[in-house]
Amino acid sequence: MATYTPPLRDMKFVLRELFDGNSLTDLPGYGDFTADVVDAVLEEAGKLSAEVLFPLNRSGDEEGCTFENGVVRTPKGFKEAYKQFTDGGWTGIAADPDYGGQGLPKAVNMMVEEMICSANMAFGMYPGLTHGAYNAIKHYGTDEQKALFLPKFADGSWSGTMCLTEPHCGTDLGLIRTKADPQGDGSYKITGTKIFISAGEHDLTQNIVHLVLAKLPDAPPGVKGISLFLVPKFMPKPDGSVGPRNSAACGSIEHKMGIKASATCVMNFDNAVGWLVGEKHKGMRAMFAMMNTARLGVGVQGLGLAETAFQSGLLYARERLQGRGLKGAVAPDKPADPLIVHPDVRKNLLTMKSLTEGVRALVMWTAINLDRAEKAATEEERAAADDLVQLLTPLVKSMGTDVGFEVTNLAVQVYGGHGYIREHGVEQLVRDARITQIYEGTNGIQALDLVGRKMSAHYGRYLRSFFHPAQEFIEANAADPAMEGIVVDLAKSVGRLQQAVAMVAQKGLTNPNEAAAAAMDLLNLFAYVAIAFLWARTAKLALGKQNDDPTGFYKAKLKTAQFYMARVLPRTGALLSQIMAGGDTIMDIEDALFDAA
């Protein structure tokens, strides 16, 4: 069976030792969130995840959601778990206290989200989408909208969705056909069909609030003509209770590869009443308040699944007896040695461990800077933090989900044939992980965002937010004999990244296809180097604490860092070769030749 224990020790290490998370108490509104308070939150979230949500993961997958007469029912146990979740205040831990939330730092909230995703990703979809809707209304809604909807999101009694995609268009939202007709009283009638709407209909909350992209009659063509509308399932009464049913209904639910306990809906809006969020024709700006939250959240989903897969694979490798060590029996008192003695199994496990813990560090680096971008004392500090967040967001989404899929697949490999069957539970992790590389903008879209927007923004200012600290670390530690190998490996990989960025920037000026052809490889190269930088910082810390290390935690960190540099980071060499090869072999083949016989 799959297994999961919340990795609280590693979370606390990354938060406090690698990134000085205790300093978050210096930010306005965070003064009460001392180490003791944060530890208590993480421990309780861990208990909820491991003891309440994780036991429902497999049964939820096997039962799935059901759809009958327009009604979606979640699997057995989900309603009770959601009530326990909301009773504990978990839906509002990062929400503003002005709206009934607890106002915890985003860095802490992301660790809670990771544990929820590790335990039961499908369950986590329901409150996760609400968090994105909360952010959009908080930043772009009217005072009346905030007062009505945000407290309901914070206490979990109402949930939210994102309604973007339509049957004829996915990423190209400029093609949407959903219409919004003004009614003269400040409301609009919304008509159209949206597909792939996570949590679009379910039985967990009193109301569901859809944030819908649509076009007004006078809208200019393309994305410049998109507006955002708030469309509730039930019309709200002035006192905050629910009134009559709105004409927004689920037409069907998708039969999916994974996350089967999360309802993915076709939503039909037939003159449904809605209200504008933000300015007319500026809906994409408001929607990105949700999208950026969601993209980071999806990266955390990949991380959560990777953690469960690693723990499960490690336990199986320690318990499963298979063959003998090549140098002789390691457990001569047993009929065979455990799988973990075999080099290929160990390589798989260390790859899983180094990538999972590396992505956790990448997520926390981003999360702490999210907090600083919002609350730091000076505009300069806030801007510097936001620069890094803008740069790292596509890396977190893409690498987090790629790692989730790679690590869950490696877990199946460690299990062998037993991993391929449902009984042991790891094949579900693979199926659940696969969608993360697709939704909230495919990873290819994240690559285009990096190359097309983030690299050139403010004359390369975003890039400097990474290259400057990485170079400073290399220079500060180059003379340390204990760090020599790691620093050399890091320096080489940073050099490869700089070479790739320069090449893409130069060729992209004259031929956009060159930049696009290299984009995915460049994003992956960047992510591996960013994780290498964080592993190098981790190794530096571990070296200073390994003499007082009764549990072996810091020794394990150092050994894992060395493995990552030696066995994972060399992937950057191949990626650089692919980038330097240019785009001709991709673009210079006629369409008819793809299936020429």
SS3 192: strand
Q: Are 352 and 306 in contact (CB under 8 A)?
A: yes
Q: Can you tell me the distance from the alpha carbon of 347 to that of 342, in angstroms, rounded to the nearest whole number?
A: 9
Counting beta carbons within 10 angstroms of the beta carbon of residue 383, is it exposed (0 to 12), middle (13 to 18) or buried (19 or more)? middle
Q: Are 159 and 129 in contact (CB under 8 A)?
A: yes
Counting beta carbons within 10 angstroms of the beta carbon of residue 55, is it exposed (0 to 12), middle (13 to 18) or buried (19 or more)? middle
Q: Can you tell me the distance from the alpha carbon of 159 to that of 144, in angstroms, rounded to the nearest whole number?
A: 18
Q: Are 300 and 110 in contact (CB under 8 A)?
A: yes
Structure tokens at 59: 């049964």
Q: Can you tell me the distance from the alpha carbon of 199 to that of 211, in angstroms, rounded to the nearest whole number?
A: 12
Structure tokens at 202: 């379910």
Parallel/antiparallel/unpaired status of strands 188-198 and 179-182: antiparallel
Alpha helices in 96-199 (DSSP H): 106-140, 143-155
Q: Can you tell me the distance from the alpha carbon of 489 to that of 570, in angstroms, rounded to the nearest whole number?
A: 9
- The residue written with tokens 């457990």 in the block is 331
Q: Which residues pair with 230 in a beta bridge?
A: 211, 275
Q: Can you tell me the distance from the alpha carbon of 61 to that of 125, in angstroms, rounded to the nearest whole number?
A: 14
Cβ count near 374 (within 10 Å): 16
Q: Can you tell me the distance from the alpha carbon of 143 to that of 284, in angstroms, rounded to the nearest whole number?
A: 20
Q: Can you tell me the distance from the alpha carbon of 404 to that of 443, in angstroms, rounded to the nearest whole number?
A: 13
CA nearest to 410, candidates 335, 344, 454: 344
Structure tokens at 300: 């955390």
Which residues have CB under 8 Å from 70's CB, separation 6+? 201, 249, 250
Helix 343-375, helix 106-140: angle, nearest 10: 50
Q: Are 441 and 295 in contact (CB under 8 A)?
A: yes
Q: Could you give the C-alpha distances from 391 to 175, 442, 461, in angstroms and in order? A: 28, 17, 10
State which H helix or E strand residue 567 sits in. Answer: none
Q: Are 62 and 423 in contact (CB under 8 A)?
A: no
Structure tokens at 566: 């030696």
DSSP string, 177-233: --EEEE-SSS-EEEEEEEEEEETSS-SSSSEEEEEEEEE-TTPPSGGGGEEEEEEES
Q: Which residues pair with 242 in a beta bridge?
A: 236
Q: Could you give the C-alpha distances from 308 to 150, 205, 279, 377, 405, in angstroms and in order? A: 32, 28, 43, 38, 12
Residue 279 annotated in active site: no
State which H helix or E strand residue 227 sits in. Answer: strand 226-232
The catalytically annotated residue of 166, 307, 440, 514 is 440
Active site residues: 440
